[in-house]
Amino acid sequence: MGILTTNFTVFLNRIKDANRRKKTMKIRKSIHKDYLKNVSKFVGVVLVVLSIFSCKHHEEEYHKVTDKIKELSKDYHGTSITSNKFLEEMNLMEISEGGHTFLIPERKSQIKSYACTECHTDDLNKIKGKDAKKGHWNITLKHANEETMNCLTCHNGDAMDDLKSLTGKKIDFNNSYNLCSQCHTKQFEDWKGGAHGKKIASWAPPRASMTCVNCHNPHSPSFESRWPAKYNTQKIQERK
């Protein structure tokens, strides 16, 4: 009888322990569930706050630099600053190339031997000895090798007062950059946009730019290598 009582007591204790574990698990699940809810709420609040601060909520905050430029440029109506006073005494002409309109120096009036037909009325061999001072016999073409270029590559033998393209199209001396652009396409695109070549006067409008031949000798366009005013003497010794 005592053994049965003991076993029954053990059995009851096991049932009580099982019930306690179930209650504990329920409590833990409830706590975990509440924890997840709180975490979700917190994450939601953080996302809302971030979205508010990441968006433009007053006029000084923008998503991108371009947005700021557009916003601040809405009321821009140009500037009163101009380069006109620096250009008054210059002989300039307006050109439009690739959507860009700007001024360049007029060239034909600056060429000492223009018009070419003043001399080029006969065959070259005939006029070679007539007036050596006006001739171009001192010019050496260093633009490419002899198999690639000669005088008639650029100069129009049928109309000496014009240049000519590779396809035989006439090019005015004032627009000689169109001749250069046939080979130097990258530099030409940069020049049209203002990234290559020298500005005349300042950046204020109207824009005025040098042309290719204002900086480069068309017969020998490359620049000689130069040392800076101050240079590293150790490098000089190393290069020797």
Dump pLDDT digits (tens) for 175-186: 999 999 999 999
DSSP type of residue 135: S
How many other C-beta atoms can be found within 10 angstroms of the C-beta atom of residue 213?
18
CA angle 105, 109, 115 (to 5 degrees): 135
- 120-160 pLDDT tens trace: 887 767 766 655 556 677 788 889 887 888 888 999 988 99
Amino acid residing at 64 = K
Higher pLDDT, 225 or 175: 175
- Give the SS3 label for residue 99: coil
Beta strands in the chain, from DSSP E residues, in sequence order:
92-97, 100-105, 163-164, 170-171
Residue 100 vs residues 97, 103, 170, 206, 209: alpha-carbon distances, Å: 5, 10, 22, 12, 12
Residue 187 banded pLDDT, cuts 50, 70, 90: very high
**How far apart are the C-alpha atoms of 128 and 122, rounded to whole Å?**
10
- Give CA–CA dist 189/200, Å, rounded: 18
Q: In whole angstroms, how large is the CA radius of gyration of the chain?
A: 42
pTM over 0.85: no
Give the DSSP letter string of 157-219. TT-TTSEE-TTS-EE-GGGTHHHHTTT-HHHHHHHHHTSSSPBSS-SSSSPBB--HHHHSBTT
Overall size of the chain counted in residues: 240
